[in-house]
Amino acid sequence: MSRLYIKQKVFSVGEKFTVFGESEQPRYYVQGSFMRVPKRFTVTDGAGAPIAEITKTAFSLLPRFTVEMQGIEVATIRKEFSFKPKYFIEGAALDVSGDWWDMNFDVSRSGQRVASIRKKWLSWGDTYEVDIFDDALEAMIISLVVAIDRVRADAASSSAATM
């Protein structure tokens, strides 16, 4: 089991996240594209080697992301139409349950919990505490959190623009 902290940098060009381990050492970096369609996030390890690419589908009625690892599409994350935030993850055999709106949810595979995500509320910038029970899924879980954070940010900015 590992505990990671995904922290968004507040003042940066494009979106940036640093993923820290329990010892507060950076383990991964996430860099979002700036002024680019489609929106893309690149996850790299501490040495700068690419781990995953998360791409938002440009023309889709509801938010949809693809996750690629080593050039192969491994999952599609899409928001479903419902009054309560609900997502479907295709290709990774993962199920998600919990409170998406507040970013508190669990991820399971074949009924076995593989990760638990909790948003830390009293922090500068968005910070997520992620417990991963299957270390082989670290990059996938990080990709999932980044994609859902982007959906929430888009929804917040569009509702602010309509006021």
Tens digits of residue pLDDT in 70-119: 999 999 888 777 666 667 788 888 888 877 666 788 998 998 999 999 98
Right CATH for 2-161 from 3.40.50.2000, 2.40.160.200, 3.30.413.10, 2.60.40.3140: 2.40.160.200
Report the DSSP beta bridge partners of residue 116.
Answer: 106, 131
Band of the pLDDT at 14, cuts 50, 70, 90?
low
- Nearest-angstrom CA–CA distance, 19 and 130: 10
Structure tokens at 149: 């954070």
Across 9-13, 52-56, 87-91, 124-128, the highest mean pLDDT is recorded for 52-56
- Nearest-angstrom CA–CA distance, 77 and 150: 12
pLDDT value of residue 41: 93
Q: Both ends of the chain: CA-CA distance in Å?
A: 44
pLDDT value of residue 91: 86
How do strand 40-45 and strand 50-56 relate by DSSP bridges?
Answer: antiparallel
Angle 12-125-155 from CA coordinates, rounded to 5°: 90
Q: Which residue has the higher pLDDT, 45 or 86?
A: 45
